[in-house]
Structure 1
Amino acid sequence: MATQNRAARLLLRLVGRFITPARFIAGMAVVCFLIAWNRDIALLYGLSSLLLALLLVSWILPIWVLRNIRIHRRQTGVARAGASLQVSYRFISESPLYFLAVAETIPGAERQEHFIPRTDLSEPVTLSYEAPRRGVFVLGHCEVTSSWPFGFIRQKRRVPVNPVTITVVPRVYRIARLPQPHAEHAVAEGADSFLSRGMHSEFAGVRPYRTGDSLKHIHWGASARRQEMVVREYHSFDRPSWLMVVDAGTGSSIGDNEDSTLEYALQIAASVMEYARSHNIRLQVYVNNATTMRLTVEPGTHDIIEHLKALAAVQEDGRQSYQSAIVSALAEQGDVPVLMTVRRDSQEISPGQAGGHLDIVYNDASFTQPMGRYAEGWRQVNPGHFILDLHRLSSLSQVLAS
């Protein structure tokens, strides 16, 4: 019985692949015509004519619907790698549109199609697509088909549509906690000695009041002048600034596409920026690509979406070595920051004059032999130096959240 059921399902699958509704109706029209010709039955002539008319209408009307259609599209919201991408479509036509299908090919994903039973010309239609890859892409032609009114025959037409730039930002993972390295000399050489005698912060400026701010930090004079509540901000010397250097040098990454050390480094950088924002830490991300990108998160920053969009455009085109980029980034800092690096274990670096070092190291061998046993997790080298061992199959969402 089970064998018969499998054979029946296979037969139905084969029949369904080659016998479409349009072919079935055309076959029925031919059969009715031949029977009517042989038996001289007028009713079958009429039925054959009706079926042919049905096919003719199903073939012509979709072309009529698509003849003057135009589409304007744009990205809405923020698209994150591995999540959904929202594209808004505004259809411009002289008549209502029915039974449309819109298909797009997103880089890194297969062709994706959406069926729209009815289109309201006065309101845009927002469709969701899978966005597996980080990057900045241009969507050119999209495929539009119509099967109105009966759904038997689909007609496709290249309709005028505007190219649209799509930005897919890196994935952001929740970081539960980062090690706090302690350098041997917390205050940089030559710093004001007054700050080292128990004074742990200095006045930096004012900013608008936010819910949860302490009333003792309100600057009443500035609030009166601006006619809005403002609070004092301070530079903290107990919580030093952080510097993260991302290696985007030409040929420095290993792995393919989204499974490469550059992509992992950008995901970690995005996650660290969100961590800095939520913990009011000053962070600068230095990317040694062709233009040497510098992204700074200041304490009190509300969101980092513009920084994430900048990371989306990073290409592996830098001309500096990773060690040179670290030296250049440290030289630009006004104080001694905590340094974060993401590198391969075959890359030798020297952190130089940093106020601590968080070193994230990927095992090279894991990219060619991913099923091997490799170390994973944080380990402390000395009070100012922590290493996070990772490999090709490490789950950043689990490692960073632990």
Structure 2
Amino acid sequence: MRPTTRREPPPGRSVHVTREGAWWVAVATAMAAIGWYKTIPPLLLLGYAMLALFALNAWLARRQLRGLTATRAAHAPVYAGEPVRVSLRLRNDGPSAATAGVRGSQLDQLFENVPAGGEVERGETRTFAERGVVGGEAPRVWADFPLGLVRFEAPGTPGGELLVLPALGSVDLVGFRRWVRREAGVEGRSRRQAARAAADRADLRGVRDYRPGDGLRDIHWKTTARRGEPFVREYDAAPDPELLLVVEPWLPPAPTPADAENLEAALSLAASVVRAWCLAGGTRVTVAVAGDDPVRRSSTPSEAAARFLLAPLATLSGSDRPAPPDPIGPAARSERVVVSSRPASPLAAALGRATGRPFAAVSPADAPAWYQAGPR
């Protein structure tokens, strides 16, 4: 930010005397006073010399800040409990080498002898136990070189926040797929509906001669009657389904600590499913987050894609009336799942009515056999 006049420091700049500096000034003043009162020239000169060093320290510290810019290094989102290196950068556009420190949330680093025109990065490995946002506000660059008696501070460049995603558990993807197909697949439907659902997943290529082991429902009766021998339908290989996962962050109007814990557990379950699907590769993933500000993201599967898809969960807050995005996503050729913080969520039935496709619903209270929650 720019100063309003030449005489005023830029907003956010500050200067203060350190504890050592306060003692230094007190001792120097006492020595000068005693030397003047008792007429002891060496003591008087020593007091004056100490005060002069104090002033020199203030001038040098302020000079160190000229041309220094502090920033946070950008990071991809991380999962709660995942080690990550959090770094600060200091760039020196001044005329000479500088020694200064940079203080940001979670970090305080000293940069010694940063060359003119150079940039140095320093950091530490940290682990964050809870989801959320780390940093974002501007770091502070400070200098008290060389004696540490007076410290000047100035704001750095904001940004470089770190998104901490929900903690991960382990998912048996084969068991998950089997559960989805049982819950939102052909269970409870007629054979004709089941056959129609199967046909939706593949394109009809033509007909061929019947072979032992072919299903009776695949027989093409018109061709069989015309030719006098059995013929069956032949399909192209059915494409693997995509994943459509809807996150419902439900909380009652007056949530208890147990309600908040259920929300965190539901977000961890959703994050674990999405990451397991993305690591397995294959088909596209869509994550729809219900809430006061609904979000929908889609991507082809990869480790980076999982973090992109789950980024909205880092700052997600609960709602007693979470609304899903509209449109919800590709329901026709997807495994459709609602992950909710409440058991028997009505959102799954509502989405089923809206799309004409059934949705499976799961919450942490259901304790699904295919999911193991991680340590908290």
TM-score w.r.t. structure 2 length? 0.62
Query: Deviation of residue 75 (structure 1)?
Result: 3.6
Structure 1 runs not aligned, ≥5 long: 1-17, 106-110, 204-233, 363-375, 380-385, 389-394
Residue of structure 2 equivalent to 1:337:
335
Equivalent residue, structure 1, for 2:172: 177
- Structure 2: which 5+ residue stretches go unaligned? 1-16, 188-193, 203-213, 219-232
Q: 1:255 to 1:62 in 2, by over 3 A?
A: farther
Paired residue type of 1:155: F
Correspondences of 1:1-400 after superposition (within 5 Å): 20-37=19-36, 40-66=39-65, 68-71=66-69, 73=71, 75-80=73-78, 82=80, 84=84, 85-98=86-99, 100-105=100-105, 112-120=107-115, 121-127=117-123, 134=131, 139-156=136-153, 158-159=154-155, 161-164=156-159, 166-177=161-172, 179=175, 180-181=178-179, 182-183=181-182, 185=186, 187=194, 189-192=196-199, 197=215, 202=236, 235-236=239-240, 241-248=242-249, 254=255, 261-280=262-281, 282=283, 283-289=285-291, 292-296=294-298, 298=300, 303-312=305-314, 321=323, 325=324, 329=328, 332-335=330-333, 337=335, 339-345=337-343, 347-348=345-346, 351=349, 352=352, 357=360, 359-362=362-365, 377-378=367-368, 396-398=373-375
- CA 1:139–1:190: 2 relative to 1, 3 Å: closer
Whole-angstrom distance in 1 between the partners of 2:72 and 2:25: 41
CA distance in 1, matches of 2:315, 2:125: 20
Kindly state the Cα deviation for residue 73 of structure 1 after the two structures are TM-superposed: 2.8
Check the 8 A contact 1:29/1:49 in 2, yes or no. yes
8 Å CA contact 1:73, 1:162 repeated in 2: yes
Greater Rg by CA: 2
1:143 Cα offset (Å): 2.5
Q: CA RMSD in A?
A: 4.6
Aligned to 2:223: none
| 1:151 Cα offset (Å) | 1.5
* Cα distance in structure 2, aligned partners of 1:292 and 1:129: 34
Q: Match of 1:337, as an amino acid?
A: E
CA deviation vs aligned residue, 1:155-194 (integer Å, no higher than 9, x gap): 23x35x4432525141352415253325272756354299
Displacement of 1:54: 2.0
CA change 1:114–1:188 in 2 (3 A) is: farther
Residue type of the alignment partner of 2:245: M
Query: Is 1:33–1:44's contact at 8 Å kept on the other side of the alignment?
Result: yes
Offset of residue 21 of structure 1: 2.1
3-state SS of the aligned residue for 1:103? strand
* Aligned equivalents of 1:76, 1:171: Cα separation in 2: 19
